[in-house]
Chains A and B, each alone.
Chain A
Amino acid sequence: MLKKALIGAVALTALTAAQAQAQYSDNKIKIGVLTDLSGTYSDLAGKGAIVAAQMAVEDFGGKVNGVPVEIVSADHQNKADIASSIARKWYDAEQVDAIAELVTTAAAIAVREVSKEKGKIDLVSGAASTALTNAKCSTTGFHWTYDTAALANGTANAVVKNGGKSWYFLTADYAFGHDLQAQTERVVKANGGEIKGAVRHPFPNSDFSSFLLQAQASGAQIIGLANAGADTINAIKQAKEFGITQGGQSLAGMLVFITDVHSLGLETAQGMMMTTGYYWNRDDETRAWSKRWSAKMDGKMPSMVHAGTYSSVMHYLKALAAAKTDDGMKVAEQMRALPIKDASGFAINGKIRADGRMVHDMYLAQVKKPSESKGPWDYYNIVRTIPGDDAYQSLADSKCDLVKK
């Protein structure tokens, strides 16, 4: 009896000693992956993002200073209300410490509001809008993979400099499309290009022939596609059918993921320019990581959102270890201080700014000809590396109130 009590006392002392070293509430780290598991974005984010987050936890050793890490996940169905109610439930009732992925701007902003209120970390990867690091910025909120400014700077700059001076836009008629068009127009005009016009198409839309014909009649050299997913795929497929590209006009897909190229096939997509935050076949490091991911995902290859989710979760775990607490403010401080480096080869020259933007090198890619492709998913030639500072909106232009001016 006495022996048992003694052991108990020793164990208790040991436990409190450990806690004095590192303060992790409820002795568990929980990271929620909140994403689209069934809708339009479920290929470019979705299950692959959960797999990527799990890989980050495994690669980190499954524990932070001896405290186990667990990944939970849910489907926000691209709806802001569902996203924010899941976030609330996770933070309030299920001891979730951070939420990752968050495709769809509306959903990401909804979760951003909740995280800000609760002082919890959000790691946005799939959402595109620059609003997340401007009006909606937060000390504990991070935007990791790409944004509309980087896409516009990367693609539009290169295209205008290659002689594509006059533009016509096919724009998805909702907030994201309008934002992407506005960002691109700004870059085109800054480079001395001109805007011939734009047509706003319903979202979603399957037949683009009518809009393509209007774009053709405008005589613009470049048809900018300010849309995403199936809309982009349909527009590109039908542009080829209507002889737009043979007629000397070129397409510029402002937001194209590798999953879209896979769906189009190289025969249709070849020659298209785009900006991406990641390409699996860029070097040995990216190939090694992507093949590990691929083995868990039936041979698919990761999109930039998948790699970005891995990278952001990995960096969060490192910051947790360094901060020795799961307090959101302290972890966020460490996240900004620590160098960003991980096995996926994602965040090259990565750094986190005051506005929460993780600035890293982006890549201008061109889709290969079918004859150049050496195997499945071998789709891009990297034309140019765009240094992070050139790609992203400059801090001077930021409307974030955390940026000291």
Chain B
Amino acid sequence: MMTLFGIPAAALFGQLLLGLINGAFYAVLSLGLALIFGLLNIINFSHGAQYMMGAFVAWLGLTYLGANYWVALLLAPLVVAAFGIVLERTMLSRLYKLDHLYGLLLTFGLALIIEGVFRNLYGISGIPYAVPKELAGGWNLGFMYLPIYRAWVVIASLVLCIGTWLLIEKTKLGAYLRAATENPALVQAMGINVPIMITLTYGFGVALAAFAGVLAAPIYSVNPLMGSNLIIVVFAVVVIGGMGSIMGSIVTGFMLGLLEGLTKVIYPEAASTVIFMVMVVVLLIKPAGLFGKGA
């Protein structure tokens, strides 16, 4: 049998595919973060909590309204985005002129409060959420068994990432947004309502987190701390990709998922640290990140 790095090639392909799937989560989450940082200059530490809220809204919808997975995929991002917009209007918008640190502290505090509230209501062990019937089962690829749901996660994430990138980089709306972050006063003078655009951008970033939360609900334990476990890794992804770089966060998300997948085979104990080692190296060599535009 052919081997690579001392591992049978078949097993290696399996692990790489899994890495890609995890990378999809990193990409969607870091995309939201990069968007919010790039356009609002806010380091959104409540991103993990908003991801968790997405998963919980999906469960609440299913339990109390009978809304199935597909409805939740639409509904949860909208509900959580609405919540995010309220936060932005009432609190975050007061901090734009201040140092990044204030936004970071505020969103960190909010994350703790949100998680505390959910922990109080639903306990710590989490709640069950089944894989939707249409996506249950899997394919035997020869080198591994691929659950259909995981394939769906990769496709949905890719579509969402590319769609967002096109929206920001290639459309008129995206151009307004980018212009508004460069020079809000000038864009406002052109008759464009900048505050509303900023608010909606935050809402969109939060919606991405909630969408990832719904994607995660059938495969990960849905519990109040699910976001805080993931958010640190996602921040590392954003830093490696270059703060605020949208394409950077997408590509880095997938790449680091692959790298982590490889580590899980070669030396599993280091799987949770490998991303941070990369972060250290990248920061030393290229402080603005792999795709950053300079400090």
Contact = CB atoms under 8 A, between A and B. Distances in A.
Interface of A: 38-44, 46, 173, 199-202, 204-207, 209-211, 213-214, 216-217, 229-230, 233-234, 237-238, 241-243, 247, 259-260, 262-265, 267-268
A213 B11 contact: yes
A43 B19 CA distance: 32
Contacts of B96: none
A41 B124 CA distance: 7
Nearest to B139: A243
A94 to B, nearest CB: 27
A237 B18 contact: no
Nearest to B272: A202
A45 to B, nearest CB: 10
Contacts of A199: 268
Contacts of A230: 125-126, 221, 223, 225-226
Contacts of A243: 138, 145, 147
A194 B266 CA distance: 23
A209 B128 contact: no
B147 A201 contact: no
Contact of B128 (A46, A247, A264): A264
Contacts of B219: 237-238, 241
Nearest to B144: A213
Nearest to A210: B264
Interface of B: 11, 14-15, 18-19, 21-22, 116, 119, 123-128, 130-131, 138, 144-145, 147, 149-150, 218-221, 223, 225-226, 229-230, 261, 264-265, 268-269, 271-273
A43 B261 CA distance: 32
A200 B125 contact: no
Nearest to B271: A202
A263 B130 contact: no
A205 B271 CA distance: 9
- 6 A-B pairs closest in CB distance: A265-B128, A202-B272, A210-B264, A263-B125, A233-B221, A43-B125
Given A40-B124, A263-B126, A204 B229 contact: yes
A237 B218 CA distance: 8
Contacts of A39: 124
Contact of B21 (A206, A209, A216): A209
Given A44-B125, A206-B229, A241-B131, A214 B221 contact: no
25 contacts: A38-B116, A40-B124, A42-B119, A43-B124, A199-B268, A201-B268, A202-B271, A204-B229, A206-B220, A206-B226, A206-B230, A209-B18, A210-B15, A210-B19, A210-B271, A211-B264, A213-B11, A214-B11, A233-B125, A233-B221, A237-B221, A241-B149, A242-B147, A262-B125, A263-B127
Given A40-B124, A206-B226, 4 more contacts: A201-B268, A202-B268, A206-B229, A213-B11
Contacts of B150: 209, 241
A238 B221 CA distance: 9
A210 B261 contact: yes
- Among B15, B147, B219, max chain A CB count under 10 A is at B219
A38 B115 CA distance: 10
Contacts of B138: 241-243
B226 A259 contact: no
A308 B152 CA distance: 45
Contacts of B269: 173, 200, 202
Given A206-B221, A210-B15, A214-B265, A233 B126 contact: yes
A403 B124 CA distance: 39
Nearest to B22: A207
- Among A200, A201, A241, max chain B CB count under 10 A is at A241
Contacts of B271: 201-202, 205, 210
